[in-house]
Chain A
């Protein structure tokens, strides 16, 4: 007997939440078109890839419109997949984010090496809408999916010597062909103070727009620290190490006068080569004022007593 077989799983259907927001995408596109004086902008594509089960949602970007999926996934700084903004989306096919092993070690009582999906099962996934401010003075509003890094750190029981957290991107020129050229020293490394890492805003992201993170955005696991410049958001993480001493970070190693360890968004401290006072929100014509800590002023207490001018 012939039976009707669905050719599409539930997981493949557009989530209702996004379907209901489809007009917002169109509006954003139309606003962009008006602003640019061009007939219309790239039609906003629907998010693609497998969906993630999200337990909680928090909109933490002051109700600002989301940057369309197409823009978030086609305009990326991920030098391991090429140094032009469009390169990572073009070259992401060489990155194989599953299976993927992550090691968390160093100054913890319970170091682990585990599969990324096993890691993701340990924590309820949350959607967090954050502003993302690049050091190059452009910004986006992105609905990340992930879990607070602090939850992971607490679970592994840091020793009393744990003062910093070091992160490392995969080193594999076959998967990340940009590593064949020493544009910067590979692998990409980043770091946070442990109190920054444990702050409830700090996220380990595995998705965006309710979908599994695309390669160009740092699949399968990346750091998101919304009050810091985007270069702090290390992508395609293979190792997280708690340390006693401040770890080296890629951009400050390359150009210490331009990029510091902290990378806190600060409109009053210019990058030596350009002003940080304003930023261009992707999709907008006029630049907008950059907010201190990218609008996340609640983290200011982490830096009490420190000169904000030294926190670039």
Chain B
């Protein structure tokens, strides 16, 4: 049996494990009281962290193929992107429904008045059309070229997500800086084409 065939079998399963693991971990921590004194804030922060992580991970396959020729990670790209959008929606829903308990006046004021929330909200608005058009049907309907152009909005969403994080922290910019450098490098690595394979 060729190596590729066995990979065909385990790759989708591994993809599901990767994108669901943070949720499983969160549920386990909640069940065993490891979320600390302010669990509402802990969940909000974790969902935000995994949104940015999956956004960054979804940017890995393309430069990886460009620079090393490794093609199979591309098959995980869409799932990683959809995961990022799902975590972003969970993050926002948690803020809306649990943290603020549907106090729409506060939420609207936050989105309008607090720049870090404005850019975070903008990032989610950018991710929504990408999540919706992530199916094979939408790729066909739009045509691959247009679909690909549309999905470059993920770059903007990732950058807005980093700004959202950086503007949120009070003093310690270490984690937002790590995301900024990682996402910056992943975007730059697309500009200069590596050794092209035909």
Residues of A at under 8 Å CB distance from B?
A: 36, 38-43, 70-71, 74-75, 79, 83, 85-86, 136, 138, 181, 183-184, 254, 273-275, 277-278, 280, 282-283, 285-287
Contacts and interface: CB of A to CB of B under 8 A. Distances in A.
Contact of B37 (A70, A254, A274, A285): A70
A273 B167 contact: yes
Nearest to B169: A83
B16 interface: no
Contacts of A184: 171
Interface centre among A43, A74, A83, A136 (most CB of B within 10 A): A83
Given A38-B30, A39-B31, A86 B38 contact: no
A282 B33 CA distance: 14
Main secondary structure of the interface of B (DSSP, over half): helix
Contacts of A86: 36
17 contacts: A41-B33, A42-B33, A75-B36, A83-B172, A85-B37, A85-B38, A138-B41, A181-B174, A184-B171, A273-B114, A273-B167, A274-B110, A275-B109, A275-B110, A277-B106, A278-B106, A287-B101
Given A42-B33, A79-B171, A36 B38 contact: no
B116 A273 contact: yes
Interface in B149-190: 167-168, 170-172, 174
Contacts, number: 57
Contacts of A36: 39-40
B116 A282 contact: no
B168 A75 contact: no
Interface residues of B, number: 23
A75 B38 contact: yes
B37 A74 contact: yes
Contacts of B172: 79, 83, 183
A181 B174 CA distance: 10
A40 B168 CA distance: 30
A40 B174 CA distance: 34
Contact of A75 (B37, B100, B109): B37
A282 B37 contact: yes
Contacts of B37: 70-71, 74-75, 85, 282-283
Interface centre among B33, B109, B167 (most CB of A within 10 A): B33
Interface string B103-119: 00010011000111000
A184 B106 CA distance: 31
B114 A286 contact: no
Given A42-B33, A275-B109, 18 more contacts: A74-B37, A75-B36, A75-B37, A79-B172, A138-B41, A181-B174, A183-B172, A184-B171, A254-B171, A273-B115, A273-B116, A273-B167, A280-B38, A280-B40, A280-B41, A282-B38, A285-B40, A286-B101
A274 B106 CA distance: 10
A251 to B, nearest CB: 8
B29 to A, nearest CB: 11
